[in-house]
Chains A and B, each alone.
Chain A
Amino acid sequence: MALIKVNNLSKRYGNKTAVNNVNFDFERGKCIALIGPNGAGKTTILRTLSGLLKPTSGTIQFADEKENSDIRPHIGYLPQYPSFYGWMTGREFLIFSGELAYLSKDEAKKRADELLKKIGISEGASNERISRYSGGMKQRLGIAQAIIHRPKLLILDEPVSSLDPIGRREVMTLMEELKNEMTILFSTHILSDADEISDELLLLHNGEIVESGSMDELRAKYQTSKIELAFENDLEEYKEKIDQLNIVSDSMIERGLLHVTASDISQARKAILETASQEDWPLTTFTINRASLEDMFMKVVNK
């Protein structure tokens, strides 16, 4: 059974449609990435799921709750630019968040200390005011406050986009750990991040979901691997020879490389390498270039 099911969700501001008839659902225990360029509607979708925005039309159903019921007890949310009470200490803020989510005072304290350890904020730092925290610390504190009540679904809006490489790595590691404990839905415009930790992708463009599926499914669907070749001497001569091999769907010469596209890449590789060794071609480069997520994204968006 789906953990969350979104039906025909739309969000309009006046004439402007931020999210247009979006449908998706996902299972418990997955890590789902919502990918799209800036302004695609990622934040709007996440805010609507978390209850901060009201959908113009459509429904959101969480597990076996009623449609459009208040699902806030089951979710944890970290906005793109979290802002805290700067006058509170990190520990105080976590206890406050926990108590708001109906943890008892003792439970909230215990959970806060446990999470502070987990997110790597030292005891000294946890008793300092949040206004003195670095960006990375704030982001980790933001994740901690989102999971303090052990939500079933953790929603993270661009959790790593604004961080430096070290902060980014820390947050990614944390997310990797949390994947085992809860379902995670996060948005990003950095495709490699999505590639790294998500099981499933939702590609969003102009407020619509244009493609979705697991990483491997999408790879298979948009796979257009190319073989890139270079030789010690003239490429034209070998281009003709390769075209005659009857395995190639397209070939062209660009920037000193011979690019070969084939429908069956393993067969093409075999044929080329066999011929090359029989005829003793002066091969200097042989690369199989798999389509990156970037290529795939451009392809889907430009469709």
Chain B
Amino acid sequence: MQFNTLFKKEMLENWRNKKWIWVPLVIIILSIMDPITSYYLPQIMESVGGMPEGTTFELPEFLPAEVVTMTLGQLSSLGVLIIVLMSMGTIAGERKSGVSELVLVKPVSYKNYILAKWSSLLVLVWFSLALGILVSWYYINLLFGELSIVALLQIIFFYGLWMTLVVSLTIFYNTVFRSSGLVAFLTILTIMTMSILTQIFGTYLAWSPNNLSSYIFEAVLTESIPSELIGTSIVTIILSVGLLIGSFYIFRTKELAN
């Protein structure tokens, strides 16, 4: 019941500060940017002056699965940045402004407080992601070739896990630090470090969450679910839940006022 109160408050807040409008919009734009620009590239080149005479330039034909990867690539860079920026102050900001003093001096369980933040962000992120990938799927079908509904659902589900990890990481740093800038910086830094480690020690880190996109590509291309995708998903879920539980413990040890 207390969780509901906190959760409803988060949802209302995100509605009043228009996150429910701009986050889905930005995610949709990011999702369809690559499919559309790749398809219309010849026309775009033409309109900006074309190629020098005599040049023959073969534009590659993209497979639907390749276009999916482009979309996920955009989401993994700019999309992640947007999500981190949107959630960097969710707890840190409340502690800085002091409003958390009024909330947490009520008999509020810290677990409920963090869980409400986490789940309300996930609802927003998953909703935006589903919408973005749905629109991207529509354009891929229209412009590049058929992609099944099963593939669409798979992409949303497995890529959603990656975004869940990003949100969990942000929540985790939110409980540690009071400065939202630092939260954003460390979240991005952690994701980058994970990506570099995955590239260097690729053979040992086959189930690194950073590989989700490439396994999704494989799944869409082969129309089957590779076992690595399952393993990576499990690792991603465990990491997210682990970060969440870690946040509970860290928050409990924190002093809630200066």
Contact = CB atoms under 8 A, between A and B. Distances in A.
Interface in B94-110: 97-99, 101-108
Given A99-B2, A100-B2, A100-B108, A83 B103 contact: no
A97 B101 CA distance: 12
Interface size of A as a range: 20 to 34
Contacts of A85: 9, 13, 99
Given A52-B101, A96-B5, A47 B107 contact: no
Contacts of B108: 72, 100
Contacts of B105: 50-52, 72, 75, 77
Nearest to A82: B102
Interface string B239-258: 00000000000000001110
A281 interface: no
A54 B101 CA distance: 14
Interface residues of B, number: 22
B106 A97 contact: yes
A53 B254 CA distance: 9
Nearest to B16: A87
Nearest to A43: B257
Contact of B107 (A54, A81, A83, A101): A101
Interface in A120-147: 142, 145
A85 B97 CA distance: 10
A79 interface: yes
B98 A81 contact: yes
B227 interface: no
B5 A87 contact: no
Contacts of A53: 255-257
Given A81-B98, A83-B97, A96 B9 contact: yes
Nearest to B257: A52
A236 interface: no
Interface in A62-101: 70, 72-73, 75, 77, 79, 81-85, 87, 96-97, 99-101
Interface of B: 1-2, 5-6, 9, 13, 16-17, 97-99, 101-108, 255-257
Given A47-B257, A97-B106, 11 more contacts: A51-B105, A52-B104, A52-B105, A75-B105, A77-B105, A79-B101, A83-B97, A83-B98, A87-B16, A97-B102, A100-B103
